[in-house]
A and B are shown apart, each in its own frame.
Chain A
Amino acid sequence: EVQLVESGGGLVQPGGSLRLSCTASGFTVSSNYMSWVRQAPGKGLEWVSVIYSGGSTYYADSVKGRFTISRDNSKNTLYLQMNSLRAEDTAVYYCASKYWYDGMDVWGQGTTVTVSS
């Protein structure tokens, strides 16, 4: 079964750091592009970052310089290192991938990040 499972969310103080993980099963994380998408409480979807199969990475302006996307092919896992966290980073974070169809056709269940003192 093709699946993504996120972990690593939690409560963190402003200015703190957190690393999210997204483990894939049924396909390899390096086979196509993988993204992080977040959703603040009661708000819409906001794209955060992407890593392509070749390793190129891109970020939303709102997180550039603070977040880093990476992957470990040996663990078949995608990561999002989040530094200098702000209250406005509070959201459910989803990892998503292009697996078979164009677009993001595989999504994880999401992990919640709360930035608060």
Chain B
Amino acid sequence: SYELTQSLSVSVALGQTARITCGGNNIGSKNVHWYQQKPGQAPVLVIYRDSNRPSGIPERFSGSNSGNTATLTITRAQAGDEADYYCQVWDSNTAVFGGGTKLTVL
């Protein structure tokens, strides 16, 4: 079965750029979606199909996907960006989530 690998945690200084990666075999050939989840809340879609932002998601959120790595980039990180982030793909009619990355804004 397909697997997605994320770092457990990423730290970023307030106002700096955070990069959260998602590794998978030839993930560049798949559509990657990213979700933000804050404690006690349901996940929120922040990037769909590698690099597209839903309405209402700040331009500070961007994504890329190539080769074996997809990346979620958050520029000018704010305290409110502190959350868990999950990547997700579809593989043979099953949804696969990465293990999640906890973003800490220092």
Number of interface residues of B (CB under 8 A): 24
Q: Which of A80-104 touch B at CB < 8 Å? A: 94, 96, 100-104
Chain A contact residues, majority secondary structure: loop
In the complex, the answer to whether A45 meets B100 with C-beta atoms within 8 Å is yes
In the complex, the answer to whether A94 meets B43 with C-beta atoms within 8 Å is yes
In the complex, the answer to whether A103 meets B42 with C-beta atoms within 8 Å is no
Q: B27 to chain A: closest CB distance in Å? A: 15
Pick the contact of A104: B31, B45, B49 (CB < 8 A): B45
Selecting from A8-16, A24-32, A67-75, A107-115, the interface stretch reads A107-115
In the complex, the answer to whether A47 meets B97 with C-beta atoms within 8 Å is yes
B residues engaging A (CB < 8 A)? 1, 31, 33, 35, 37, 42-45, 48-49, 52, 54, 84, 86, 88, 93-100
A residues engaging B (CB < 8 A)? 35, 37, 44-47, 50, 56, 58, 60-61, 94, 96, 100-105, 107-110
